[in-house]
Chain A
Amino acid sequence: MHKKAQLGEQIMVFMFIFLMFVIGAGIVLGTYFFVGPEFDFRNAEADMLSYKIRTCINANEVVLTGDAEQNLKLVYEKCSINKNLLDMNNFIKICDNTKNPLDCVNKENPVLSSAGPSSFQPCGFLEKNKFLGCSMNNFVKDDKIYTILVTSKQTIRRNAK
């Protein structure tokens, strides 16, 4: 075959693949926008976890002391929360004497702070994901005002079952 013709044919292969890619991307994007993204459950999960811990503390099942590690251990034990899952998907922080709940985000020496997933921003304080999957509440216990911050980063998983 003529060399120029061969070159033209090779270019056509790339054109063909490029065209398929463009059409495929169009179909995938169109379907994605039509069906919609995954429904966001992180906020609801964070709210539920926060509610469960607050209820547990208010029912005197956990008595908060100055020892943050001990407080965390008690929360896992008494509030029937799975520690492994919490370390993987959630982050909990309880602070005392905070005038503004937002102060708890960066407060050092909190009453309680879970390990949380690595490289996990408390309450998604990255501009893009601000407050996504974040629950922030105040509660009163023994005449003291506490702030509880709970976050969730769990998304749906597709498993072969």
Chain B
Amino acid sequence: MNKKGTIGDIMMDNVIYLILLIIFFVGMMAFVNSKMNGAAVWEDYYAKELAKVIDLSKPGDVIALDVQKATEIAQKNKVANFEDIFSFDNTRNEVCVRLSLGKASCYYYFNEVSVTYDESGKWMHYAEPVKVMKGEGQNA
């Protein structure tokens, strides 16, 4: 075999190793990153809690939940529209929560009720910001 052929072979081998390593590294980074901000865990939590609330509700009930934590995580994960965080499918009796740009976490509710918007036509209502005083009570 000539020298050029040998050098080409060695180069090719190294390139393949490098590509495999990059694929592996990117995959691992994506996996760890997806777990780091806890989006999946909080999606799981909110989907199940919402299913619980719906399962225990009766027709005509109005439910208000504080979802500050969910909006914080969604904002970190670049979810542009907060209205997309929660979705309810009344035909399938399913609630879905999406706190990142990937897939949503879904859970079925067995209660045969329809989840609808309130009169404003929105799921999400922004509350007045609460001013938190650091160190409050320490100097009292």
Chain A residues contacting B106 (CB-CB under 8 Å) are: 156-159, 161
Contact between B107 and A154 (Cβ–Cβ < 8 Å)?
Answer: yes
B109: which A residues are within 8 A, CB to CB? 85
B38: nearest chain-A partner, CB-CB: A35
Interface SS, A side: helix
Please tell me if A1 contacts chain B, counting CB pairs below 8 Å: yes
Instruction: Say whether B96 contacts A159, CB under 8 Å.
Output: yes
The answer to the question of A80 belonging to the interface, with a C-beta cut-off of 8 Å to chain B, is yes
Given A16-B20, A20-B24, A52-B111, CB of A41 within 8 Å of CB of B103: no
Contacts of A82 in B (CB 8 A): 93, 108, 110-112
Does B45 have its Cβ within 8 Å of any Cβ on chain A? yes
Kindly identify which residue among A24, A28, A49, A157 contacts B107, using a CB–CB cutoff of 8 Å: A157
Interface flags for A56-86 (1: CB within 8 Å of B; 0: not) read 0000000000000000000000001110011
With A85-B93, A159-B96 as contacts: A28 and B31 at CB distance below 8 Å: yes
Contacts of B111 in A (CB 8 A): 52, 80-82
Number of interchain pairs (Cβ within 8 Å):
98
Residues B87 and A161 in contact, CB atoms below 8 Å apart: yes
**Residue from the set A39, A80, A157 with the largest chain B CB neighbour count within 10 Å:** A157
CB contacts (< 8 Å) of B74 on chain A: these are: none
A80-B113, A156-B107 are contacts. A39–B45 as well, Cβ < 8 Å?
yes
Is the C-beta of A113 less than 8 angstroms from some C-beta in chain B?
Answer: no
From known contacts A35-B35, A81-B110, infer whether A158 and B105 are also in contact, taking CB-CB under 8 Å. Answer: yes
Known A-B contacts A1-B1, A35-B38; A158 and B104 likewise in contact (beta carbons under 8 Å)? yes
A103: Cβ under 8 A from any B Cβ: no
Asked whether B44 lies within 8 Å of A156 as measured between CB atoms, the reply is: yes
Residues of B within 8 A of A147 (CB): none
Residues from chain B with Cβ under 8 Å of A27 in the complex: 28, 31-32
A80 and B20 CA atoms in complex are apart in Å by 54
**Interchain CA distance A20-B55 in the complex, whole Å:** 45
Residues of A contacting B48 with CB < 8 Å?
39, 41, 44, 156
Closest 8 CB pairs of A and B: A80-B112, A161-B104, A41-B48, A158-B103, A157-B106, A159-B106, A31-B35, A20-B24
A-B contact pairs, 12 of them (CB 8 A): A16-B17, A27-B31, A31-B32, A41-B48, A41-B52, A45-B51, A48-B55, A80-B111, A82-B108, A86-B110, A158-B105, A159-B105
A residues near B (Cβ < 8 Å) are 1, 9, 16-17, 20, 23-24, 27-28, 31, 34-36, 38-39, 41, 44-45, 48-49, 52, 80-82, 85-86, 88-90, 154, 156-161
